[in-house]
Amino acid sequence: MLAAWNSTACAENCSGHGECLNGTCFCEIQFIGEECRTTNTSYFAAFATIFFLVALVCLVQLVVCIAAEWQRLKAPTFLRACRITTQKVLYFVVFLASVIRGAYFTSPTAFKEGWSRSLLSAYYPLLLSGSSLIVCFWAEIFHLRDLRWEHRQFLSKSFLAFVTFNIISYSLLVAEFLTSHFFKTAPENESFYSDIFNGCYAVLLFIVVIFFLIYGIEVFFKVRGGFLLDEGAPTRPIAEEARQLFNFDANDVQPVAAKSVDTSQLHQSRLGLLSQALMLTSVVAFLCSETLGHFWKSKVPIYSRNWHNLVFRVVEIGVALWFPCVLWNCMSPEELWILNPKRLLKRKDYGSGADGAGSSGLSGPSRSVDPKSAKSETISAYSESRLLYRKLYNS
């Protein structure tokens, strides 16, 4: 059987794009025809269309996001509406990655071999940029509890780490570009260099996946992090509130945490986290398999390699499509669990009970409040309203 697969009875050995079995060429998925000479237009057109659609969705979301910020500004200007935010950067990065990957699938034969390989590899640094940005954002949410992060525009303490990591990833892309365009090497050496760079991308992406899971589990599975703390309140009451919120009550069978967490948002966040982690891990595995392709591809039938390629490309689409899906609300980023983990907690509503005493509760089971605390909050609110009235009156 192996001898039949390796037979060279076919014309020109299937043009190097397939395998010969009993005088018939079985082509790689990218090629068709009796001698595997013709490009498989359906394969490339399908993936190009999908990637361009993803790019179009991200572009529309980016424009809507800018328009929404323009409307929120008291003195709107184009530059202020286009200021850098985590949401906009994610839209732009995924848009650029999808456009580049769509350009590759549009007409791979129109590019020289070096350009084609560069377009194919440019997807991974951009993917690393988007994923590492989310990791840094969640890391700040988890560690920097004293910062008001809900309406922050971009990274603060982790910005240097984000830039350093991306310098490394884009340096690999530049090195690959220089190697393929300015250093004349034998075809087998070019394939070797390509495998080396794929392995480097796999290592960087694996590091991102590890931290993606670490902070994702801490924030969305253990429901911990700076988002649990009310902004602007003293440190000791905040710590006490967080401790009461996530400890068991001796007089209650059910923990308070189970009462205060929005289960719908919690399930959405966990599903989104695990799905992206699974797809990123699959991309790492596929890149590693491409790096080690010389050891196994010649031993595997052509149809298995075609399925391997097809699944690989579908997973790449899933990774890119995940971003516009979880960032679906362009106009109100505070409604997104990925940018506002406080969505996992039920909203706190303050009001007066039937007996006249102040009560504070999460939008589920209510919690009793000390009357003195309620009274002080009422006095504070009354003082602020009087101060605001005086300012309006004097103006």
CATH number for the domain spanning 226: value is 1.20.1070
Backbone angles phi, psi at 286, to 5 degrees: -65, -40
Q: What integer pLDDT is reported at residue 128 of this predicted model?
A: 94
The verdict on 120 and 187 lying in the same domain is yes
Q: What integer pLDDT is reported at residue 393 of this predicted model?
A: 41
Of 128, 135, 178, nearest to 155 by C-alpha is 135
Tell me the C-alpha distance between 373 and 233, whole Å: 13
The verdict on 159 and 258 lying in the same domain is yes
The alpha-carbon radius of gyration of the chain (Å, integer) is: 27
Extended strands (E) in the chain: 18-21, 24-27, 31-32, 38-39, 348-352, 358-362, 366-367
The verdict on 337 and 359 lying in the same domain is no
Enter the tokens of residue 164: 């350093």
Q: How many CB atoms lie within 10 A of CB 181?
A: 14
The verdict on 146 and 167 lying in the same domain is yes
Domain membership of residue 377 as a residue range: 349-394
pLDDT digits (tens), the chain, 395 positions: 333 444 456 777 787 788 888 888 888 888 888 888 888 889 999 999 999 999 999 999 999 999 999 998 888 888 888 888 999 999 999 999 999 999 888 876 655 555 667 778 889 999 999 999 999 988 888 877 555 544 556 788 889 999 999 999 999 998 888 887 776 666 556 677 788 888 999 999 999 999 999 999 888 887 766 555 443 344 444 444 444 444 444 444 444 444 577 788 888 889 999 999 999 999 999 999 988 888 888 888 888 899 999 999 999 999 999 999 999 988 888 888 888 887 777 754 433 333 333 333 333 333 444 444 444 544 454 454 444 444 444 44
Q: What is the number of structural domains in the chain?
A: 3
Q: What integer pLDDT is reported at residue 277 of this predicted model?
A: 95
Q: What integer pLDDT is reported at residue 392 of this predicted model?
A: 41
The verdict on 66 and 125 lying in the same domain is yes
The verdict on 231 and 336 lying in the same domain is yes
pTM to 2 decimal places: 0.76
The verdict on 370 and 273 lying in the same domain is no
Tell me the C-alpha distance between 212 and 280, whole Å: 10
Look at phi and psi of residue 315 and say left if phi exceeds 0, alpha if psi is from -120 to 50, else beta: alpha
Q: What integer pLDDT is reported at residue 65 of this predicted model?
A: 93
Extended strands (E) in 74-175: none
The verdict on 229 and 335 lying in the same domain is yes
Q: What integer pLDDT is reported at residue 379 of this predicted model?
A: 47
The verdict on 91 and 15 lying in the same domain is no
> Going by C-beta distance under 8 Å and a sequence separation of 6 or more, which residues neighbour residue 155?
86, 133, 136, 137, 140, 162
Q: What is the H or E stretch that residue 331 is in?
A: none
The verdict on 305 and 334 lying in the same domain is yes
The verdict on 275 and 372 lying in the same domain is no
Q: What integer pLDDT is reported at residue 3 of this predicted model?
A: 39
Tell me the C-alpha distance between 305 and 332, whole Å: 44
The verdict on 86 and 29 lying in the same domain is no
